[in-house]
Amino acid sequence: MNDICNKSGTLTALLSIKVIFKILLIAVPIIIIITSIINTVNVVKTGSEEEAKKQFSILIKKITAAIIVFITPTLIIALMNTLLDFSNEENTIKVCFENATREKIIELKAQEKANKDENAKPGIDRSDTQTIGPNKGNNDNNNNNNNNGNTGGDTNTQSGSNENRQSVGNGKYFDSNDVTKISGLSESEFIQVLENSTAYHGKAKVYIPLAHDLILAEKNHGVNAFYLIGLYSYESGWLGSTLTKQCNNIGGVRYYNQTYGNGKKTTNCYKKYAGFDSIGEFIDFHANLLETKYLTPGASHYHGTSVASVAQDYGSGNGINTIIEIATKVSGGNLSQ
């Protein structure tokens, strides 16, 4: 598909056109029927043959106008295919119209945000150079080895405990008013929710390989996994950004020689953003950063535990609604009985 059809602005315009056409397709027939009935009644009352011919001519014009309205979308698609030189890409504009949905526009906006230069964005606590790891700066290898770089296995057998963590409960896994309420799911249950989620055309499945790290972030740092998915999807365009691919950085963290994991140092990876050896290690670093700097009362960036509160200093103020919507929809997946 041509790049022009992968821009949120294009799809927003097409969605507006679709809405207008839907209104016209409903309104025009209704108007024709009502006016025709009124005119017919008037003709019967007058009994004039000349008036009857006149009204019949008007009716033909109205029907012709209605037909034009119905075929206009097809004409527009054909015209755009010609003007935009899509002759070798059959139905490209038609596909664009079909893809012009609110969900697709939100997804593209997230992707565009992740790919643009964010040098002016305040973002995370960029100047913080403290050692940050799974144990709040403790680089003891015996402790850190339990938490970093692990793959596979259910997190129920890993270190870290959620005994003192408050879960959302009541059949829900995410609360936008308190992201420190964890989902309470095991790793296998979390994967099941991601697999069953149909939101955004099933895009949540991209997080299945990271399920272990996301649930471990809940257990070790008390940050809701679905909130992280909402935030990461907004920041990285569903893990599709250049920053993700080159730096394993899915949260927009700037580079200031941070330490993570077992004493590893971040790299100055891309446009002064921090680089990590793996996305899993980034998630642990980032969840700890959120816990210690944004979600702990008295911390330097603490304003509360809601999505909006974190966004005040995080630099994602414009994406609050998007983050909440993604986290809410993705967490709506059902567990099979």
**C-beta separation of 199 from 329 below 8 A:** yes
**C-beta separation of 284 from 216 below 8 A:** yes
**C-beta separation of 222 from 295 below 8 A:** yes
Q: How many of the other CB atoms lie within 10 Å of CB of 256? A: 16
CB contact burial 287-308 (16+ within 10 A = b; e otherwise): bbbbbbbbbeeeeebbeebbbb
Which burial class, exposed, middle or buried, applies to 153 when counting CB atoms under 10 A from its CB (0-12, 13-18, 19+)?
A: exposed
**C-beta separation of 197 from 329 below 8 A:** yes
DSSP letters, 226-274, are: HHHHHHHHHHHTTTTSHHHHHH---S-PBPS--EETTTEE-EEEETTEE
Report pLDDT for 82: 58
Report pLDDT for 334: 65
Query: Taking the domain 117-330, which CATH number applies?
Result: 1.10.530.10
Q: Map out the domains of the chain as residue ranges.
A: 3-100, 117-330
User: Angle between the 225-236 and 320-330 helix axes, to the nearest 10 degrees?
Assistant: 130
Q: In tens digits, what is the pLDDT along the chain, a chain of 337 residues?
A: 445 666 778 778 878 877 887 787 788 778 878 877 887 777 777 767 777 777 778 878 878 877 877 777 667 666 655 555 444 444 456 667 666 777 777 766 766 665 554 443 444 443 343 333 333 333 333 333 333 333 333 333 334 455 578 999 888 999 999 999 999 999 999 999 999 999 999 999 999 999 999 999 999 999 999 999 999 999 999 999 999 999 999 999 999 889 998 889 999 998 889 999 999 999 999 999 999 999 999 999 999 999 999 999 887 667 899 999 999 999 986 675 4
